[in-house]
Amino acid sequence: MSQHPKPLIAGNWKMNGMRANLSELGIMGAHFTPELRKITDLMICPPFPVLGLAAEMARGTGIHIGAQDCHEKYSGAHTGDVSANMIFDAGATAVIVGHSERRIDHKERDTTIASKAQAAMDVGLQAIVCIGETKTERDAGRAISVVRRQLKASVPAQADPQKLVIAYEPVWAIGTSLTPTNADILEVHAAIRADLKRVFGKTAGSEVRILYGGSVKPNNAREILALDHVNGALVGGASLKAADFMAIATALA
């Protein structure tokens, strides 16, 4: 992995995390040393009920707090939804949009995801846009074309590249302990990078972080993070415990 752009290791807690679990965030903060801060950015994306509390706990530790989804509008009659400006107001600096679990569970489409990403950027949040193929698509040799199509449709037309992060997460690798080969990860990330450069220009397109996600663990982090065009990781299961998450972060050192 090149050290530029600065890597980001982001933890997606999904629907896990009570107030008591924030003690793990405290431990992560205590181990996020000034030396490590120079090497990587760290982020935890907890569920909404503890978002504000997590942001308060993380203050001064250097750990960023992100949300896992947002609505594309800022207010109104949308029972149960949370807007990007509410997330910003709670002290978060980022939001994940288009995670495959949202695409599947809530039937989210690329156009909605692009609107969510734009809403996030408009209030000053980083938008972590998730894309990735299913097993059937990979087996059919369509991984690259699917990912490129999702990238084109899920990144808003007016996107600010400085507020954009792409997470390549093969659906079949999430929570399964399966990962693509290094060559496959490299191939997809290189294709994403080429498209980002085409859209945003060479310089801005090279600055957008492309994270890999899907069964990143302490034992495979080093080799995955060493790949070209891999600028960090989006980590699910292994982000719940400080020991695992910090082992992934220190794999960069």
For 51, the token pair is: 């978002």
Is 213 a binder of ligand PGA (CB under 6 A)?
yes
Please say if 99 is a catalytic residue.
yes
Residue spans of beta strands (DSSP E) within 101-201: 126-131, 164-168
Q: Least Å distance between CB 109 and ligand PGA?
A: 19
Is 185 a binder of ligand PGA (CB under 6 A)?
no
C-beta of residue 161 within 8 angstroms of C-beta of residue 196:
yes
| Active-site residue, from 64, 99, 189, 229 | 99
C-beta of residue 117 within 8 angstroms of C-beta of residue 155:
yes
Q: Least Å distance between CB 99 and ligand PGA?
A: 6
| Residues 8 to 37 in contact with ligand PGA, rule: CB under 6 A | 12
Question: Toward ligand PGA, which CB reaches closer, 85 or 143?
Answer: 143
Is 175 a binder of ligand PGA (CB under 6 A)?
yes
When binding is defined by CB under 6 A, the residue of 83, 154, 215, 250 that contacts ligand PGA is: 215
User: CA torsion sign, 210 to 196 to 82 to 65?
Assistant: positive
C-beta of residue 205 within 8 angstroms of C-beta of residue 199:
yes
Bridge partners, residue 167, by sequence:
130, 211
Q: Least Å distance between CB 235 and ligand PGA?
A: 5
Please say if 72 is a catalytic residue.
no
Is 208 a binder of ligand PGA (CB under 6 A)?
no
What secondary structure letter does DSSP report for 230? -
Separation of alpha carbons 123 and 136, rounded Å: 37
Question: Toward ligand PGA, which CB reaches closer, 46 or 200?
Answer: 46
| Active-site residue, from 24, 133, 137, 169 | 169
Q: Which residues contact 14 (CB under 8 A, 6 or more apart)?
A: 47, 68, 101, 236
Which positions touch ligand PGA (CB under 6 A)? 12, 169, 174-175, 213-216, 234-238
